[in-house]
Chains A and B, each alone.
Chain A
Amino acid sequence: MTGHRVSADTEGYAGIADLTRSISSVKDEVINRVRALDARVRIRSTDYFNNTFVPDLVLSWPGEERPRELFIRADTNPEHLAEDIGFVPDRQPIFFGLGSVSASAEHNSLVSSEAQDHGVLITDAAGADEFLDRRRQSDLLGLASAAVLQGGRGVVDRGEAADTATLFEDGFESAKRGDPERTASAADRIAGVLDPDRTDRLLQVLQALWVGSGQPASLFPAAVKQDHLDSSALLFLLEQEWIRDTLFWRNLAYSLKFDQLVSLDLSEPTENLQELIWANTDRLKARACAAVTSEANDLPGKRFAYFTIEDGGLAFRTRRALLRLYSSADQLPETEKSTGVPLEHVLQRLRLLMRDRTPVRTIEFVEEGRKWTCESEGDRDVFSDDDFMQVISTAGPNAQVRRVAVRSTEGNFLKLNFANRSVTGYGSSRFEIAQLVTLALFAFPEFPPEEAKTAGEAFANMRVHAEQVGGVRRVVALSEENSHEIDRW
């Protein structure tokens, strides 16, 4: 019998509207839970409900190529769920049960093994709520709930969710302490809960924490594809909800390199990127910094400055300044070179640097077609040099400073180029991003001195805080330039 002869009357439409509203209400509840588990997830609701083949929701994440389908399951009979897995082969979806997905051990073992084998996550409201309760106690568990949402497998009811949350907590804590047995045990069990990609990412995180605890990567008690956080794992972390745990970010970035950070394809300046950078301003080292004359910047949130990854570099933005940090001086943007900055203005700024205990080694300025280069010897700064002060006093109002060299806190020399507003080192020298930023803000007259003072204090306070939570463990950087390099501009 085919065909249909019903004319949909007003009453009929009202009835369908009721059903549609009920379905929307159920879907909204599931959507709210999914969002609570991971605020960064994008959710598209389909026109379907409880269909065998078409998902109710399609979840996707910034930076993740593969979306994950979510099927609402009104029938949570374990045998039926096991059968349903066979109808969505190779799709590794989530089945979200409207009822409890817990059932008899016999049935559950069947559906559990099917779900694990096929990368399917079967969960319910109680399982999701357990994760939510646990993550309220620790931001780090947001990592776990996001990883489970993206690549979890097996049956995760309330009990399993509690076990999984504990497993991740144990893993993070054991790795932070460098405890080989417990870390190995957690790593082993994580592989049973997550798909291979997510497992590898989480193990990389554990390994990074392990290395941060002072243990060598070679002794990490689990198999990981590489001995450091790869870009995918790092992006995964940075894309998560705000993890306010300076020690976590400090330990995690023990072996993180500036170049890896700025190569990330991070679509927006996440709070976790700020946490990572602020906790490691002494470890992240760049080679060059460009000062960009900046209009008033509109900053998100309440921070006085924001870092973003832009154009292959790291941008540092305050309300009134924009600086760009690079891995190489070759990356400095092309600018229209000026003849320099009036000597008088530069001297005012250099005195601020002196107060900031940054000795000025060399000043080069031009006047009336003549170039003057004043250089102090040893650790003295030019302001302590009577001859220099005498030359300065004879300079006229047209004297323009082109370049200045200052000594960094680690003893290296930094070039301040007033013609293109850049700060660079010599040779392959790298400098703490805090130092480059503060120096540029202090030296270049277009920036208000208060910005430099605020930034300098913020970096110093953050460093004290990072050392307090993590213990002092400085990596000593060897001076990489030869003493005669200072002679080559």
Chain B
Amino acid sequence: MPGEELHVRGADHARRARLWLDYTTRVRASWLVTDQFGGDRLTFSWPFDDENFSFDLGGILRGEGLEHQSFLAEVKGYSTPADQGSHYLSYLAKCYVALGEHPGNAQNFMWITWCPFNVTSWNELCSPAKVREGVLHERVRVLGTEDHDKSETLINDSRIKDVADRLWLIVLSERQEKLVISPEELGELERIRRRRGQS
């Protein structure tokens, strides 16, 4: 798929992911990296690289257990597993950096995809070991060294665990996107909340 088309498709899926999250009624505020508010707030710096990286989507959650917690999301609109496994490792490294750089904006990390990947080790994808693997995968940009053993000594274990604790894996499908409350009923819900002074 040509780069530009891939980019458009990615932006489209980021928007669809954001919409689905809004449908859950558990999102108070959200923004895309492509919009007027999100760009700066979703962009971070690699510690040992001049290039920046960004997440696709971010915001603030609401409701029991999530009230006023921030989230950052990477969205993959893939129809096959493709190279998600490799991208996922980079993503984990980005989460590690984001948590160090701006912990307030990084209370939840969501990987939202339209196709599962690494299915044989699916239950390990949110483990501290996987996060460590991700950081080592990007060790030059995160830790500033090619040396694997030296990298191991530079990794902050506490932060690795924190990242693992904050990881979400969400798999969507086109049909699941339709299996949501209707906009009319959401509007009604909002009017009830407003009458109760809850929004």
Contacts and interface: CB of A to CB of B under 8 A. Distances in A.
Interface of A: 1-6, 8-9, 11-20, 22-23, 26, 46-55, 58, 74-76, 80, 86-91, 97-99
Contacts of A26: 37
Given A4-B65, A19-B29, A52-B22, 18 more contacts: A3-B65, A5-B166, A6-B108, A12-B70, A18-B105, A23-B29, A49-B60, A51-B28, A52-B18, A53-B190, A74-B36, A74-B37, A75-B15, A76-B36, A86-B183, A87-B19, A98-B35, A98-B36
Contacts of B105: 15, 18-19
Nearest to A124: B36
A296 B130 CA distance: 80
A91 B194 CA distance: 15
A31 to B, nearest CB: 16
B104 A15 contact: yes
B41 interface: yes
Contacts of A8: 68-69, 107
Nearest to B110: A1
A16 B68 contact: yes
A56 to B, nearest CB: 9
B76 to A, nearest CB: 15
B169 A1 contact: yes
B165 interface: yes
B68 A75 contact: no
B27 interface: yes
A53 B41 contact: no
Contact of A50 (B30, B108, B165, B166): B30
B186 A89 contact: no
Interface string B171-190: 00000000000011011001
A89 B60 contact: no
B103 to A, nearest CB: 5
A80 B167 CA distance: 29
A49 B183 contact: no
Interface of B: 15, 18-19, 22-23, 27-32, 34-38, 41, 60, 62, 65-66, 68-70, 102-108, 126, 162, 165-170, 183-184, 186-187, 190, 194, 199
Q: Which of A12, A46, A55 has the most CB of B within 10 A?
A: A12
Nearest to B67: A8
A74 B104 contact: no
B68 to A, nearest CB: 6
Contacts of B102: 15
Given A75-B32, A75-B34, A4 B104 contact: no
A49 B103 contact: no
Nearest to A91: B187
B72 to A, nearest CB: 11
B31 A16 contact: no
A472 B34 CA distance: 63
Given A15-B104, A80-B15, A5 B165 contact: yes
A4 B70 CA distance: 12
B158 to A, nearest CB: 12
Nearest to A53: B186
A47 B28 contact: yes
3 pairs of A and B residues whose beta carbons are closest in the complex: A15-B104, A49-B29, A98-B36
A53 B26 CA distance: 12
Given A1-B167, A16-B70, A50 B103 contact: no
Contacts of A18: 104-105
Contacts of A5: 165-166
Contacts of B18: 52
A51 B66 contact: no
A74 B38 contact: yes
Nearest to A2: B168
A19 B22 contact: no
B107 A89 contact: no
A87 B23 CA distance: 10
B104 A6 contact: no
Contacts of B165: 5-6
A9 B165 CA distance: 14
A5 B41 CA distance: 23
18 contacts: A1-B168, A1-B169, A1-B170, A4-B108, A6-B107, A15-B103, A15-B107, A46-B199, A48-B28, A48-B29, A49-B60, A51-B30, A53-B190, A74-B38, A75-B36, A87-B19, A89-B183, A99-B36
A437 B160 CA distance: 83
Given A4-B66, A15-B104, A50 B183 contact: no
B103 A9 contact: yes
Contacts of A4: 65-66, 69, 108, 166
Nearest to B11: A77
Given A22-B41, A91-B187, A51 B22 contact: yes
Contacts of B31: 50, 74
Contact of B107 (A12, A51, A80): A12
Contacts of A50: 29-31, 35, 37
B28 A19 contact: no
Contact of B187 (A14, A19, A53, A97): A53
Q: Which of A74, A88, A98 has the most CB of B within 10 A?
A: A74
Contacts of A52: 18-19, 22-23
A20 B60 CA distance: 9
Contacts of B29: 19, 23, 48-51
A6 B69 contact: yes
A53 B68 contact: no
A77 to B, nearest CB: 8
B104 A19 contact: yes
Contacts of A22: 37, 41
Contacts of B70: 12, 15-16, 19
A54 B187 CA distance: 7
Given A1-B170, A16-B60, A19-B60, A47 B126 contact: no
Contacts of B106: 15
